[in-house]
Chains A and B, each alone.
Chain A
Amino acid sequence: MALAKGLGGGFPIGALVGFGAAAQLLQPGQHGSTYGGNPLATAVAGAVLAEIEDAGLVANAALRGAELRAAIAGMASPLVAELSGRGLLIGVVLTRPVAKEIVAAAQERGLIVNAAAESRVRLAPPLIIGDAEVAEFTEKFAAALAAVAASTPTGATA
């Protein structure tokens, strides 16, 4: 199992976890890294994972993810086809290839989201978000969707 991304909460670190016999396949001298596993990176990752566990952030991700999905569905935008992903990793699948336009419209309104593909906006907020962030996202993302829907031709789907 290959891990990286949020493992260090912003400190660069990845890991490969071996299961069963696979855990013993790489023998002494067969692989290595100057920096891999150094005390600084592993201490930070350990602290980040401990906080995720202690503060119940996995449950928060599930809760806030459900809130965000409901909020986006509630916008009833003609640009949104469906939602994919899990928890706080959310793909907003679009009916038209306007992801870049939505990202720009959101940024103008003080919201950073990402165009994962031409017809897909990706949301990956930190796991710590609460009511205030969900409310602010809802207002700004709805405005960005509305602006793009108003400025691009309707009807034609991608």
Chain B
Amino acid sequence: MNASTFTTRFRAAMMPTVPSPLAMLSHGKGARVWDVEGTEYLDFLGGIAVNALGHAHPVFTRAVSAQAERLAHISNYFASEPELALAERLTRLTGGDAVYFTNSGTEAIEAAVKLARRTGRPRILSLTGSFHGRTMGALSLTGKPVLQDPFRPLLPGSSRSRRPSRRSRRRWPTTSPPSWSSRSRARPVSSTCRTATSPPREN
């Protein structure tokens, strides 16, 4: 399938949220991907920092197929061994105490926003130039007016700071957040979107 064919199909069937695709990919192995015409690429984007093990890693493919054969989906009325094991692994790795699972990064931020509201403190700070996702709560915290402006009004109480305050850095993570705002994020390395250590420098 040549470029104009997939581009035409893409434009016809997909909402135009992204520019024309750079290629139509067919399969991958390790750090390599191939497009539908057989051209090979060294993939140094990894699905935007997602494919930690590369493409088609045997650990990944075995885990998907083995669990799909056993039990793929239940509901949150029930627990499962993989769920509890992952929660325990994450608390061990992070030093945290309890986990809530989502399907994406933006939903993890949404959960953090709701959690922050439960502190009773109305303000949520985020960094200028940061990226937190595209759903309305996460978008409200994203420090990029160009992404926010078409979707105003944003979440009340969200505001931007040029850099993490000394106070929030010193206190992160802690059980007693600063009294003037609820504080759910303080990132040592700002978002992958910017690929910068904080503070970010350009939009």
Interface residues of A (CB under 8 A from B): 1-6, 8-27, 30-52, 57, 84-86, 89-91, 103, 107, 110-114, 116-117, 119-120, 122-129, 133, 136-137, 140
Taking the closest CB of chain B, its distance from the CB of A5, in whole angstroms, is 5
On whether the beta carbons of B174 and A4 are closer than 8 Å, the reply is no
Across the interface, do B108 and A47 meet the contact criterion of CB distance under 8 Å? Answer: no
Instruction: Report the Cα distance A8→B203, complex, angstroms.
Output: 28
> Contacts A9-B57, A49-B89, A85-B197: A2 and B50 contacting too (C-beta < 8 A)?
no
B contact residues around A136 at 8 Å (CB): 42
B contact residues around A125 at 8 Å (CB):
31, 43-46
Across the interface, which residues of B come within 8 angstroms of A112, CB to CB?
Answer: 22, 33, 41-45
- Return 19 A-B CB contacts under 8 Å, by A number: A2-B105, A4-B104, A5-B105, A9-B50, A21-B176, A31-B115, A38-B83, A39-B67, A44-B60, A49-B86, A51-B59, A89-B189, A112-B41, A120-B195, A124-B48, A125-B43, A126-B43, A137-B44, A140-B42
Q: With A and B bound together, what is the CA distance between A33 and B174 in angstroms?
A: 27
A110 touches B42 (CB 8 A): yes
| B13 CB within 8 Å of chain A | no
CB–CB B109/A5 < 8 A: no
Is B63 on the interface with A (CB-CB < 8 A)?
yes
Majority secondary structure of chain A interface residues (helix, strand, loop or mixed): mixed
**Given known contacts A2-B109, A46-B82, is B50 in contact with A36 (CB within 8 Å)?**
no
The stretch from B73-81, B152-160, B161-169 touching chain A is: B73-81
Q: What are the residues of chain B within 8 A of A15 when measuring CB–CB?
A: 86, 90, 99-102, 108
- Contact between A22 and B103, CB atoms less than 8 A apart: no
**Which residue from chain A places its CB closest to the CB of B186 in the assembled complex?**
A1
Interface assignment of B149: CB less than 8 Å from any CB of chain A: no
Choose from A5, A84, A113, A119 the contact partner of B197 (Cβ within 8 Å): A84
Contact A51 B57 (CB under 8 A): yes
A124 touches which one: B39, B46, B55, B109 (CB < 8 A)?
B46
Contact among A27, A49, A57, A111 for B93, CB-based, below 8 A: A49
The yes or no answer to B136 lying at the interface (CB within 8 A) is no
Our pick among A5, A16, A30, A51 for the contact of B99 (Cβ within 8 Å) is: A16
Q: Determine the chain B residues whose CB is within 8 A of the CB of A10 once the complex forms.
A: 47, 50-51, 55, 60
The residues of B that contact A39 with a CB separation of less than 8 Å are 67, 70-74, 80-83
The CA-CA distance from A26 to B85 in the complex, in Å, is 21
Contact A124 B192 (CB under 8 A): yes
Contact yes or no, A46 B86, CB < 8 A: yes
Complex Cα distance, B104 from A41, in Å, reads 11
